[in-house]
Amino acid sequence: MTNRTAETSPLIYARVAGLAYVITILLGIFSASFVESNLIVPGDNAATVNNIMANELLFRIGIIGEIMMFVLVVLLSWALYVILKTVNKNLALLALLWRVGEAIIGGGITVLSGLIPLLLLNGGAVFETEQLQALVGIFLDVRNAGLDIVLIFIGVGGTVFCYLFYKSKYVPRILAAWGMFTYLSMLILSFASILIPNLPETIRMAFYALGGLFEIIFGLWLLVKGVNVEQWEKRVRESA
């Protein structure tokens, strides 16, 4: 019985999810602070192209970091599903599918739109300089638009996961409620970004900062405290 309990302990999955949350946020901070801020110059395609060409390795490292982020999103979502399927299997599966959709769209649009500028810049003199700079700018704009779509999947999937945590009492309810508020804010930001093309960057960054703050605190909670094993085992017995 002891071995079986150890093998099925939700603490294992909670710590997997917590570690994935923390690493994802750290990768996001690295991308925003050391890659985006140093290479991307809003409204100046020429300066952006020059920065990318002069720091191509850094730009590629940023893309690898993004790929790792989406891989970790799938991992943490799977771990959360395993924990929360004891509350409502269908809703937990729905949340998992939304977050997997986030990873697919993120990898398919945002990562690919980051790789295409590198292919253009290393593809020889096919375009005039100004045309090349404009194309790179367009693909980077597509990348940003893709992030707005990704936010929809983050918002819905994250809200459902946090609702299940709130209902289950596996973590403090105030933490789960904060999570629902945070992910609903991400959903609002995504639609605002689509409806208002020139949404001030300060507003975006404020939403991103609040979202990142929640995820790193929630991740640390899962990593250190885990979940309420007694409540989890009670749910398991009730569903048996």
C-alpha dihedral (149, 152, 155, 160), degrees to nearest 10: -130
CB atoms within 10 A of CB 203: 13
What pLDDT is recorded for position 208? 87
pLDDT tens string, the chain, 240 residues long: the values are 344 444 468 999 999 999 999 999 999 899 888 888 889 988 888 999 999 999 999 999 999 999 999 999 999 999 999 999 999 999 999 999 999 999 998 888 888 888 888 888 887 557 778 888 898 889 888 888 888 899 999 999 999 999 999 999 999 999 999 999 999 999 999 999 889 878 888 888 888 888 999 999 999 999 999 999 999 998 888 776
Domain count, the chain: 1
| Domain membership of residue 230 as a residue range | 2-239
- Tell me whether residue 202 is exposed, middle or buried, using C-beta atoms within 10 angstroms of its C-beta: 0 to 12, 13 to 18, 19 or more: exposed
Tokens representing 210 are 């609040």
Pair 146, 189: CB distance under 8 Å: no
At 15 the three-state DSSP class reads: helix
Tokens representing 222 are 């899962």
Pair 75, 16: CB distance under 8 Å: yes
CA torsion sign for 95, 190, 28, 105 is: positive
What pLDDT is recorded for position 6? 40
User: How remote is the C-alpha of 114 from its chain's centroid?
Assistant: 16
CA torsion sign for 205, 33, 96, 109 is: positive
Name which of 40, 27, 201 is nearest 117 in CA terms: 40
HEC profile of 160-176: HHHHHHHHHCCCCHHHH
Distance (Å, whole) CA 59 – CA 53: 9
What pLDDT is recorded for position 240? 67
Phi-psi region of 196 (alpha: psi -120 to 50; beta: other; left: phi over 0): beta
Pair 227, 83: CB distance under 8 Å: yes
